[in-house]
Amino acid sequence: MKKKREYQSSELVKSFAKLYGFEDKLMALQVKDFLKSYLDEAFFKEIESVNLNEKILEIRIKSPLFRNDFRMKKSFFLKKFQEEFGADQFMDVYVL
């Protein structure tokens, strides 16, 4: 008799991402979801995209005012992301 293996949906998604090389994109989506829950809705709407390249998180923001504010709090957000997702996931945050 074969042993059935049960997966949670998040484990299954992570295994597919690892298999096909989408781990960075999956992590960027998790960061974007975190920002959606953490930031005010008006601020979140100003975020154009979130990408992860070689452990550098790139956040593209439409509004120059919010972009500058985010840059000033860059170290705070980097620490927050490292606490939430693991210190080894991110080396730096670029605000574009």
**Is the Cβ–Cβ distance between 66 and 96 less than 8 Å?**
no
The whole-angstrom separation of Cα 63 and Cα 91 is 25
Taking the complete model, does pTM exceed 0.85, yes or no?
no
- Sign of torsion, CA 11 76 59 54? negative
Q: What is the pLDDT along the chain (96 residues), one digit of tens a residue?
A: 455 555 566 777 777 777 777 888 889 999 999 999 999 999 999 999 999 998 999 999 999 999 999 999 999 999 999 999 998 999 999 999
The whole-angstrom separation of Cα 45 and Cα 62 is 9
Quick one: pLDDT at residue 4?
Answer: 52
